[in-house]
Structure 1
Amino acid sequence: MKYAIVFIYDDKKSEYQISVPDLPGCAITEKTIDLGMEEITKAIKSHLAILAEYGEKVPNAKGLESHRQNYILENPHTFSQAFWAIVSIDITPYLGKSHKINVTLPELLIAQIDDKVSKSSDYKTRSGFIASACFTELEK
């Protein structure tokens, strides 16, 4: 899943405040953008692990443009200092225990899935791709 993150630079403290609008409470502060990207990724994974531990649903990520427009309305005084990024997180480890099922798919569809998986770092396995597609469809 691709989560939008927002960076706001605090001139007084010389650091970035970094938060994930789709995950309320998931926020950090860091001195550099590069370190911020690393640490917010870790924070997102920790946040999702805690949700999974308590049996909570993984929040669906909204589009970046949607967050950006809401941010302008809610924070007009800091909008000019804010910039956005996307963090891609494999959410399958946070969806609960895996179960093996039999699925019948057309040969050409399987070939297309395998081709996509082999060419993309977003998916590690065919099952991960199918799970991601199912999750996206269920959120509609």
Structure 2
Amino acid sequence: MKYPIAIEWGDEHSATGIIIPDIPGAMTAGDSFEEAYASAFEVAHIQLEELVERGEPVPMPTSVEHHRGNPDYAAMGWGLIDLDVTAYLGATEKVNVTMPGTVVRQVDQYVKTHALRSRSAFLTEAALDKIKGEGRSHPQ
């Protein structure tokens, strides 16, 4: 899932900070953007793990536009971080899905072309995107 990140650019006297607004407590900094960005992955996973341990749902990403008007992020730059949240969504369940063969082949081609993990990972992310797009929180 692609989560927006707010970037507070540093200089020779201050670190570059990154906040992931959709994940409570997910903020970090580094001497360079690259360091801060790498650290953002670690911080995001730590915060997601803590949310799940407390029994809270995994927050789905919103859009950059959703956060841009927030004064807490005034004058910050924006980007995206791609986080795999499937490990925090609960135990996997095997399901039998019936789909037209041409759709299955298109899904498999998309998975291969975009170097995704699997057909299941693609279908999970597509389902979460659809649910998120309709403004519903997903069940855990």
Residue 31 of structure 1: how far off its partner (Å) = 1.0
Out of 72, 86, 92, the residue aligned to residue 92 of structure 1 is 86
Q: CA deviation at 1:45?
A: 1.4
Gaps of 5+ in 1: none
Partner of 2:53: 53
Offset of residue 128 of structure 1: 0.6
Q: Give the deviation of 1:10 after TM superposition.
A: 5.0
Give me the TM-score of the superposition, normalised by structure 1: 0.85
The equivalent residue for 2:108 is: 114
How far 1:11 moved relative to its partner?
5.5
Aligned residue number for residue 137 of structure 2: none
Question: Which of structure 1's runs of 4+ aligned residues deviate more than 4 A?
Answer: 10-13
Note if contact 1:7-1:18 (Cα within 8 Å) is conserved in structure 2: yes
Counterpart-to-counterpart distance in 2, 1:29 and 1:43: 10
1:29 is paired with a residue whose SS is strand
CA distance in 2, matches of 1:51, 1:75: 22
Q: Distance in 1 between matches of 2:11 and 2:26?
A: 22
Kindly state the Cα deviation for residue 13 of structure 1 after the two structures are TM-superposed. 4.8
Which amino acid counterpart does residue 137 of structure 1 have in structure 2? K
Q: Structure 1 stretch 57-66 or stretch 106-115: which is displaced more?
A: 57-66
Q: How far apart, CA to CA, are the structure 2 residues paired with 1:10 and 1:132?
A: 34
SS at match of 1:112: helix
Could you tell me the TM-score, scaled by structure 2's length? 0.85
Equivalent positions of 1:52-91 (< 5 A) are 52-68=52-68, 70-71=69-70, 74-75=71-72, 78-79=74-75, 82-91=76-85
Report how many residues are paired. Answer: 133
* Structure 2 Cα separation of the partners of residues 12 and 35 of structure 1: 14
Distance 2:94 2:107 in 1: 18
Q: Offset at 1:17?
A: 2.0
SS in 2 for 1:14: coil
Which letter maps to 1:138? I
Percent sequence identity is 29
Residue 136 (structure 1) aligned to one of 121, 129, 132: 129
RMSD: 1.9
List gaps (5 residues or longer) in structure 2: 135-140
Deviation at 1:99, TM superposition (A): 1.0
**How far apart are residue 52 of structure 1 and its match?**
2.1
SS at match of 1:5: strand
